[in-house]
Amino acid sequence: MRFTHETLPQRVRFATGEAAAAVTEEAELLGIRRAMVIASPRGAELARAVTSGIGVAVLHDGVREHVPVEVADAARAVAAEHDVDGLVCVGGGSATGLAKAVALTSGLPVLAVPTTYAGSEATDVWGLTREGAKTTGIDARVLPRSVVYDADLTVDLPVSLSVTSGLNALAHAVDGLWAPRADPINAALAGEGARALATALPAVVDAPRDATAREQVFYGTYLASVAFASSGSGLHHKICHVLGGRYDLPHAATHAVVLPHVLALNAPHAPEAERRLAAALGASSAVAGLADLYHRLDAPRSLRELGLREAQLAEAAAAILPAVPPSNPATVSRSVLLDLLRAAWGA
């Protein structure tokens, strides 16, 4: 074997039912005395409870999906005004993304407490949206130093959001199998992450308040995100970044809708990855296994339902094409992208 693998430095703590105590201890280890707590308005009460044992200088709830630059600039100004020495984000990918935007320019340490399965907490990837264009990058400053996973914080997450968020996590695993820096270690992490997600998500649908099942979703989410962070963004994420940033589509649901179509395109050209994913899904083929999982989860199926207009498909294909990784298993042209988007739009 010949490959180079990089593992990101991060402390991860699974502490179901113990989020507040764990956050107190992790903040102490990071030397955070004047925290800027970042959460959505809906998650502010939970954030206050989770951070009750630490010094909080300000709670900032100016969170928006896809992190528009003006939202990032406002949060950076708040951090400077209150002279904070650390960031604690409590919530989904949007809260984590905003904390990353502040860390990108300040270098402040981030302590992440996820309440969805977005997976952003395990990556050094940041994203900002300006005038309909989403820009992403990699920077060590945005990687949360500590992550606290408490499955109890997700038991009230509605089933529909649990499904789309969990499939977003599964997309990290799938991309991790053939993204530009994919390697055998990433493949092992992605395979186990996919297996855990495919097993646990149906259990969450059956018993939404089962913390044990949700803990397994967090486990799969973390493994998939670590694989994704190391392997880089594949075709799936390039497509979803354009759709989300340009058309303001819901992040997790967009990932859920697009994933089966990218898998169908790439699987015939990546037999080893296909076999690993099929095994993780417990199926004879990855495509069939994913279809069965989507049926079991009653997952969203079309971009049309998410608000994308048919007249926008050609423009979207043209915008995605320059971002397609040259190493993608299948050859991708504008017409291939347009066919894929049409299928996802009308599925």
Q: Does residue 4 fall inside a structural domain?
A: no
- Residue matched to tokens 């502040």: 102
Let me know whether 240 and 283 are in one domain: yes
Q: Report the DSSP beta bridge partners of residue 59.
A: 37
Q: Does residue 109 sit in the same domain as residue 174?
A: no
Q: How many CA atoms lie within 13 A of 15 on its CB side?
A: 18
Q: Which helix (H) or strand (E) holds 148?
A: strand 146-149
Kindly state the average pLDDT of the residues 19-48.
Answer: 97
The last residue of one of the domains, among 107, 123, 154, is 154
CATH number at 94 reads 3.40.50.1970
φ, ψ of residue 32 in degrees (nearest 5): -85, 120
> DSSP alpha helices (H): ranges in the chain?
19-30, 44-50, 69-81, 93-106, 159-175, 184-206, 211-231, 235-247, 251-266, 271-281, 286-297, 303-306, 313-320, 334-346
The pLDDT tens digits of the residues spanning 251-267 come to 999 999 999 999 999 99
Number of separate domains in the chain:
2
Range of the domain at 211: 159-346
- How far, in Å, CA of 176 to CA of 96, rounded? 21
Judged against a pLDDT cut of 70, whether residue 109 lies above it is answered with: yes
Confidence of residue 135 (pLDDT cuts 50, 70, 90): confident
Residue 274 confidence class, pLDDT cut points 50, 70, 90 = very high
Whether 164 and 310 share a structural domain: yes
Residue 5 placed within a domain:
no
What's the whole-number mean pLDDT along residues 311-333? 96
Non-local CB neighbours of 311 within 8 Å, separated by 6+ positions? none
In the predicted model, what is the mean pLDDT of residues 304-323? 96
CATH number at residue 323: 1.20.1090.10
* Domain closes at, from 154, 178, 204: 154
pTM of the model: 0.93
Per the prediction, the chain carries an average pLDDT of 95
Mean pLDDT of 161-188: 95
Mean pLDDT computed over 193-207: 98
My answer on whether 172 and 314 are in the same domain is yes
Q: Which residue among 136, 154, 172 closes a domain?
A: 154
Give percent of the chain above pLDDT 90. Answer: 93
> What count of residues does the chain have?
347
**Judgement on whether residues 191 and 73 belong to the same structural domain of the protein:** no
Is residue 261 one of the residues assigned to a domain? yes
Element (H, E) at 12: strand 11-14
Q: Are 258 and 272 members of one domain? A: yes
Q: What is the token pair recorded at 142?
A: 């945005």
pLDDT at 347: 64
Residues 139 and 255 placed together within one structural domain of the fold: no
**140 lies in a domain?**
yes
Tens of pLDDT along 121-134? 999 999 998 887 88
What letter does residue 282 receive in the DSSP assignment?
T
Same-domain pairing of 181 and 245: yes
Q: How far apart are CA 98 and CA 67, in angstroms?
A: 6
pLDDT computed for residue 290 by the predictor: 98
- For the cut 90, the answer to whether the pLDDT of residue 1 exceeds it is no
- Tell me, yes or no, whether 51 lies in a domain: yes
From the list 108, 196, 204, the residue with the least C-alpha distance to 158 is 204
Residue 160 pLDDT exceeds 90: yes
